[in-house]
């Protein structure tokens, strides 16, 4: 009898990657992933600690699991509940005190030990905790992927962060920067492509700080890794996330210029447009330096679409600082972005700036203003796509019957009415409708395509 495994994932793409790899680790023990917690033998909550709300979601989920655990017990079984990810790393045993129904706690660096951790849970042991940063790398211990990847797959190449932005928990929950060797990344990428992945997104908390050992015994940059993967795997599309502005180097810029598989889209968080705030955040660059980096990238790849992350209401942020953020948004013309109210995180330097905290009402007001501005840019970019032909890689079903969805090079969701046999294929789509968050169009039959290839998207500022 297979055992039912339910995993709920919050947070970043690296957590999603980790959840997929946990399935691989547990497959030899007879676990099969289900999409329902009800009746599961093992529930893993793979958590995020980045903002306060993210951690709170864990506790409400644990509350929801209680009756399911009792029901399972009444039926003569046991539902083991595990907390994984960044909250597990940060809170460790304290989780047991806040929620008595947790059996197992492990951090992002120890899930390769899951079989052994599970074997330690029995009638007498109430809680097993493993939040070490082990000397061995989990990547050396993980089995090959048990489950076939989707059309678009994630591949972790780098983990951890040494930047210590003053608001951020990641250096504490994920530990120091670590890069996988190029050969290991290549082997995983080859397997993903052989099993049907058409697009690979290289992941890292600070992915462009990648410095994995290359076949020549020297550290390779991300740009070099991208070239290598493009040349040797036959992958159709490559992306990477998340990057730090300071680690954009010449090899990365030239990869954007030369590598056709590398999509013209970059998520490059800036957080704020104010030099004062950037300094207090310990981002180690100014707003103008960020503008310069964007200019360099756009000189190499004129149709590069930019996305970013912003924090409003960082301690001490004034109206004038915030106005600088809006100015930067207008200067760059991001095609999409994520924006957040600053959330003090325990143990981070910014959380200790007690009296300088910005009132919540001000944060909320600034967030609305910022999002309005960002949305206006996104809508303008989407509207500028009307009438164009964009290559779309179809990767999922749409909400309506007969509809399938895919992504444009700039990550826009594009929906078309088309047979599902097109899933997994890249086709040109003539864009006919532009919405706030998506585009719609019709597939252009391959024979109708001119020899000239795809039009490049021009930037709309």
Q: Of residues 4, 12, 43, 170, which one binds ligand SF4 by CB under 6 A?
A: 170
Q: Between residues 11 and 409, which has the closer beta carbon with respect to ligand F3S? A: 11
Query: Using CB distances below 5 to 8 A depending on partner kind, what does residue 86 bind out of ligand SAH, ligand SF4, ligand F3S, none?
Result: ligand F3S
Measured N-to-C along each axis, helices 182-194 and 222-233 cross at an angle, to the nearest 10 degrees, of 40
Closest contact distance (angstroms) between CB of 205 and ligand F3S is 6
**Beta pairing class for 438-443 and 426-434:** antiparallel
Interface positions, 47-76, toward ligand F3S (CB under 6 A): 48-50
Interface positions, 330-359, toward ligand SAH (CB under 6 A): 340, 342-343, 345
DSSP letter string, 283-318: --S-HHHHHHHHHHHHHH-TT-EEEEEEEE--TT--
Q: For the chain, what is the largest distance between any 2 Cα atoms, rounded to a whole number of angstroms?
A: 70
For residue 52 the two structure tokens come to 């306060």
Closest contact distance (angstroms) between CB of 41 and ligand SAH is 33
Interface positions, 47-66, toward ligand SAH (CB under 6 A): 50-51
Query: Using CB distances below 5 to 8 A depending on partner kind, what does residue 51 bind out of ligand SF4, ligand SAH, ligand F3S, none?
Result: ligand SAH
C-alpha 193/C-alpha 190 separation (Å) is: 5
The CA radius of gyration of the chain, in Å to the nearest whole number, is 23
Q: Of residues 163, 257, 276, 379, which one binds ligand SF4 by CB under 6 A?
A: 163
Query: Using CB distances below 5 to 8 A depending on partner kind, what does residue 342 bind out of ligand SAH, ligand SF4, ligand F3S, none?
Result: ligand SAH
Q: Of residues 71, 119, 164, 195, which one binds ligand SF4 by CB under 6 A?
A: 164
Q: Between residues 178 and 342, which has the closer beta carbon with respect to ligand SAH? A: 342
The helix or strand, by DSSP H or E, that contains position 189, with its residue range, turns out to be helix 182-194
Q: Among the candidate windows 54-62, 164-172, 331-339, 424-432, which touches ligand SF4 by CB under 6 A? A: 164-172
**Of the candidates 250, 148, 237, which has an alpha carbon nearest to the alpha carbon of residue 195?**
148
Closest contact distance (angstroms) between CB of 25 and ligand SAH is 25
Query: Using CB distances below 5 to 8 A depending on partner kind, what does residue 48 bind out of ligand SAH, ligand F3S, ligand SF4, none?
Result: ligand F3S
Mask of contacts with ligand SAH, 239-268, x by CB under 6 A?
---x-x------------------------
C-alpha 226/C-alpha 417 separation (Å) is: 34
C-alpha 101/C-alpha 80 separation (Å) is: 9
Q: Please give the order of strands across the beta sheet that includes 152-156.
A: 152-156, 199-203, 237-241
Q: Is 156 a binder of ligand SAH (CB under 6 A)?
A: no
For residue 4 the two structure tokens come to 């039912």
Q: Is 202 a binder of ligand F3S (CB under 6 A)?
A: no
Interface positions, 191-220, toward ligand SF4 (CB under 6 A): 205-206
Interface positions, 201-240, toward ligand SAH (CB under 6 A): 205-206
214, with CB counted inside 10 A (0-12, 13-18, 19+), is middle
Query: Using CB distances below 5 to 8 A depending on partner kind, what does residue 201 bind out of ligand SF4, ligand F3S, ligand SAH, none?
Result: none
For residue 461 the two structure tokens come to 């500022």
C-alpha 48/C-alpha 33 separation (Å) is: 21
Report whether 12 contacts 101 (CB < 8 A).
no
Q: Of residues 33, 224, 244, 407, which one binds ligand SF4 by CB under 6 A?
A: 244
Q: Between residues 105 and 165, which has the closer beta carbon with respect to ligand SF4? A: 165
C-alpha 95/C-alpha 87 separation (Å) is: 9
C-alpha 33/C-alpha 449 separation (Å) is: 42
Q: Of residues 171, 223, 409, 440, which one binds ligand SF4 by CB under 6 A?
A: 171
Which residues contact ligand SAH (rule: CB under 6 A)?
A: 50-51, 167-168, 170, 205-206, 242, 244, 269, 271, 309, 311, 340, 342-343, 345
């Amino acid at each position: 009898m297979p055992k039912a495994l339910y995993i709920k994932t919050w947070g970043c793409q690296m957590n999603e990657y980790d959840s997929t790899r946990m399935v691989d680790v547990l497959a030899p023990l007879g676990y099969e992933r289900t999409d329902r917690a009800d009746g599961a033998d093992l529930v893993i909550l793979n958590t995020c600690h980045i903002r306060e709300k993210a951690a709170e979601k864990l506790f409400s989920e644990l509350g929801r699991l209680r009756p399911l655990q009792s029901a399972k017990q009444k039926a003569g079984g046991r539902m083991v509940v595990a907390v994984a990810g960044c909250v597990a790393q940060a809170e460790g045993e304290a989780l047991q005190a806040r929620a008595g129904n947790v059996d197992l706690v492990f951090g992002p660096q120890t899930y390769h030990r899951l079989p052994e951790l599970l074997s330690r849970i029995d009638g007498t042991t109430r809680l097993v905790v493993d939040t070490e940063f082990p000397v061995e790398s989990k990547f050396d211990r993980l089995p090959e992927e048990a489950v076939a990847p989707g059309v678009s797959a994630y591949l972790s190449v780098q983990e951890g962060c040494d930047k210590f932005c003053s608001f951020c928990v990641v250096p504490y929950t994920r530990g120091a920067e670590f890069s996988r060797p190029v050969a290991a990344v290549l082997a995983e990428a080859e397997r993903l492509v052989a099993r049907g992945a058409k697009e690979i997104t290289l992941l890292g908390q600070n992915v462009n700080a990648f410095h994995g050992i290359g076949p020549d015994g020297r550290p390779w940059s991300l740009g070099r890794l991208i070239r290598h993967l493009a040349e040797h795997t036959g992958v159709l599309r490559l992306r990477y996330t998340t990057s730090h502005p300071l680690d954009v180097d010449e090899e990365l810029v030239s990869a954007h210029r030369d590598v056709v598989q590398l999509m013209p889209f970059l998520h490059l968080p800036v957080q704020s447009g104010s030099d004062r705030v950037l300094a207090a955040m310990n981002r180690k660059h100014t707003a103008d330096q960020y503008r310069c980096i964007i200019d360099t990238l756009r000189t190499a790849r004129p149709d590069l679409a930019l996305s970013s992350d912003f924090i409003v209401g960082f301690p001490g942020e004034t109206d004038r600082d915030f106005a600088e953020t809006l100015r930067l948004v207008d200067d760059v013309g991001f095609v999409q972005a994520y924006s957040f109210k600053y959330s003090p995180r325990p143990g981070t330097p910014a959380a200790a700036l007690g009296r300088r905290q910005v009132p919540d009402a001000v944060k909320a007001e600034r967030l609305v203003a910022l999002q309005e501005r960002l949305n206006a840019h996104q809508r303008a970019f989407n509207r500028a796509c009307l009438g164009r032909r964009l290559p779309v890689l179809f990767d999922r079903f749409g909400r309506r019957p007969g509809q399938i969805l895919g992504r444009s090079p700039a990550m826009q969701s594009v929906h078309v009415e088309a047979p599902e046999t097109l899933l997994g294929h890249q086709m040109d789509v003539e864009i006919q409708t532009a919405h706030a968050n998506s585009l719609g169009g019709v597939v252009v039959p391959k024979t109708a395509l001119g020899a000239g290839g795809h039009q490049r998207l021009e930037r709309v500022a």
